[in-house]
Structures are given as C-alpha cells and as structure tokens.
Chains A and B, each alone.
Chain A
Amino acid sequence: NAGVTQTPKFQVLKTGQSMTLQCAQDMNHEYMSWYRQDPGMGLRLIHYSVGAGITDQGEVPNGYNVSRSTTEDFPLRLLSAAPSQTSVYFCASKEGGQGLDEQYFGPGTRLTVT
C-alpha cells in the first residue's frame, strides 16, 4: 500500500490564483481530513469527510473548498490564494468516523503564496 499520497510536494502561487491540492489513500478509509501547519501553531483542521459525498468544516475552513466524490480521493481547493494561506498542508485518513483509530498522514504539501 502507498498509504496517503499528496501532490504536489511544493507549490508557489501568486495572490489571487487558484489551485487544487490532491490527496489520495489506498487503504479504503472512510474518514479523511485536511490540516494546515504553521510555525508554532501545531496543526489545525480545515475540512474533513466521514465518507464519500459527505464533508464538513473544521476549525479554519475559510478560503478552502473540498469534495469527496470517491472513497480514495479528497482534494482541497484554494479559491483565491492569499499570503495568509502560506503553510504546510497535510492530508490524513483513518478507518472510520469513530475517534478510536489512528490517523495516517501524508508527507505534506508546502505552499507559498506571494
């Protein structure tokens, strides 16, 4: 199993541009989520999904959209990039919606918005 994969690894955007961060998992996990990590802030939840067709907002959802059309994929869209969205983005997945399962993290996408 490849686990959780993310593309791209690095991205530079200009203010106002849009882009999609890709996330895929091959473990048939129901639950997937996106976090951002800023220096000294730990990880903060952006959006999450408990299954195909179901998404919900996390702690910091503004400026981001998600969709979950398949179990495997959970893309994160930046609608109009802003410098405040410069961060490292992590996708994670776990087996079910219950909290007793460990989460598996992807390697991250480092995004810079100029």
Chain B
Amino acid sequence: SQQGEEDPQALSIQEGENATMNCSYKTSINNLQWYRQNSGRGLVHLILIRSNEREKHSGRLRVTLDTSKKSSSLLITASRAADTASYFCATDNGNTGKLIFGQGTTLQVKP
C-alpha cells in the first residue's frame, strides 16, 4: 500500500510564481525524501530531511516536516519552465533504504 499521499495531484502556475506541494504519510519515519521525475525519465533526488529536522533548504527548494501531523511540504520558489516535472515524496521508516513513494504531484510551469 502507498505510504504517502500527495496534494495536489496536479498544479499549474506561471513562471516566477512559487509552487507548494504537500505529502502526508501514515507510519513513523526515519527520513523523508523528495524526488523529481521529468517526463519519460528516471527519478532524481532533490532533498532529504531527517525525522528530527523541521526545515531544510537547498537552493530554491524549501522542505518542511511535521512529524506530529505526519506531513511534509516542498516549496519551489521563483519557478522556471524547467521545473515542469512530477514530484514525489518517499519515506524510509527503518533506515533500511526501502523507500515508499507517494503518488506524486505533476507541476506545470508556464513560461
């Protein structure tokens, strides 16, 4: 069964706007990761946040984690057309490397 549920399923914005995607999960976790998938390609790791962290930044990406609500959000600031992709959250609940993925958010950034 899927661990994560992502919201929204699809998001369309204009270039320069911010994009926020949310991920909820069901069981306790050791870490949560975000991946990007361009159409027809493999997944690329974006950022990892540990269960004892609340916020993490990487370039234009900001990830938050609320373990009490079992949720995470990914914010992409000043979006670009090249950010058009699907974004997935994935949880690891045992430091085993066995990732459980959400269904993904499809982001379209219009130039």
B102 touches A42 (CB 8 A): yes
A100 touches B102 (CB 8 A): no
Of B14-22, B67-75, B76-84, B88-96, the stretch lying at the interface with chain A is B88-96
B97 touches A98 (CB 8 A): yes
A74 proximal to B (CB < 8 A)? no
Q: Count A interface residues, CB 8 Å.
A: 30
Q: How far is the CA of A76 from the CA of B70 in the complex (A)?
A: 33
Interface of B toward A, CB cutoff 8 Å:
1-2, 4, 30-31, 33, 35, 40-45, 48, 50, 88, 90, 92, 94-104
Interface of A toward B, CB cutoff 8 Å:
4, 31, 33, 35, 40-45, 48, 50, 58-59, 90, 92, 94, 96-108
